[in-house]
A and B are shown apart, each in its own frame.
Chain A
């Protein structure tokens, strides 16, 4: 079976960084991209960005540029999302999702279980 399994919940102080992992199994990791989507408490889904597991190329939301770092480790079929300079507004559940398709004709067909990141002093 195909799965994306994310790392556990995190509590961070404002100004700190968090790194969330997303391990893939059951499919050829390099054939797909990995997207990151977050959901603040009681709010909707927010597209953060994605990374090509094949090339390592990334595309991220303008509001997060400079703070968001997405990487992959093809030796372990794991994607990572690091968010720096955390603020309270970054408190959210962070999802990784398998991206199918090209730059504009894409969709997310497999999702991780989500990782709660709480930013609090």
Chain B
């Protein structure tokens, strides 16, 4: 059972928009920055979003991050088949004094 809760799967058609939620608490998302990672099965994760809403160099602006209270959201617009992957949120949990990941969300582009 992950400290951060993500939906197991989301899906949408090419060109459409999808959002992936990450729900936590005041000890983690509520008071700390969130990062998001994309992982194609069999490969290493890749940083998509850091400091809750910032994109690293090379990440297209189709990917966006936001936060409200104790929940964070990853948005992906203009879906492409290459976006099919598992997506993970991550942050620090001040109560656990440990890093935490969400359980992951599988994105399917229909």
Residues of A at under 8 Å CB distance from B? 35, 37, 44-47, 50, 59, 61-62, 95, 97, 100-101, 103-109, 111-114
B56 / chain A contacts, CB cutoff of 8 Å: 109
Complex Cα distance, B66 from A101, in Å, reads: 19
The 3 closest A-B pairs by CB, nearest first: A47-B99, A107-B50, A111-B44
A95 / chain B contacts, CB cutoff of 8 Å: 44-45
Complex Cα distance, B2 from A44, in Å, reads: 9
B98 / chain A contacts, CB cutoff of 8 Å: 47, 59, 61-62
Given contacts A45-B37, A45-B88, A62-B96, contact A107 B47 (CB under 8 A): yes
Contact status A44-B88, CB under 8 Å: yes
Query: Does B90 make an interface contact (CB < 8 A)?
Result: yes
Number of residue pairs A-B, CB distance < 8 angstroms: 67
A112 / chain B contacts, CB cutoff of 8 Å: 44
Contact status A44-B45, CB under 8 Å: no
In whole Å, how far is A49's beta carbon from the nearest beta carbon of chain B?
Answer: 8
Complex Cα distance, B51 from A80, in Å, reads: 27
Q: How many residues of B contact A (CB 8 A)?
A: 27
A109 / chain B contacts, CB cutoff of 8 Å: 47, 50, 56
B17 / chain A contacts, CB cutoff of 8 Å: none
A114 / chain B contacts, CB cutoff of 8 Å: 44
Q: Which residue of chain B lies nearest to A105 when distances are taken between CB atoms in the complex?
A: B33
Q: B43-67: contact bitstring with A at CB < 8 Å (1 yes, 0 no)?
A: 0111100110000100000000000
Complex Cα distance, B72 from A94, in Å, reads: 26
In whole Å, how far is A113's beta carbon from the nearest beta carbon of chain B?
Answer: 6
Complex Cα distance, B46 from A112, in Å, reads: 10
In whole Å, how far is A8's beta carbon from the nearest beta carbon of chain B?
Answer: 15
B97 / chain A contacts, CB cutoff of 8 Å: 59
From B33, B45, B94, give the contact of A45 (CB < 8 A). Answer: B45
Contact status A107-B51, CB under 8 Å: yes
Query: Does B11 make an interface contact (CB < 8 A)?
Result: no
In whole Å, how far is B33's beta carbon from the nearest beta carbon of chain A?
Answer: 5
B24 / chain A contacts, CB cutoff of 8 Å: none
What are 17 inter-chain pairs, A to B, with CB distance below 8 A? A44-B104, A45-B39, A45-B101, A47-B98, A101-B33, A104-B92, A105-B32, A105-B92, A106-B35, A106-B99, A107-B50, A107-B51, A108-B47, A108-B90, A109-B56, A111-B46, A114-B44
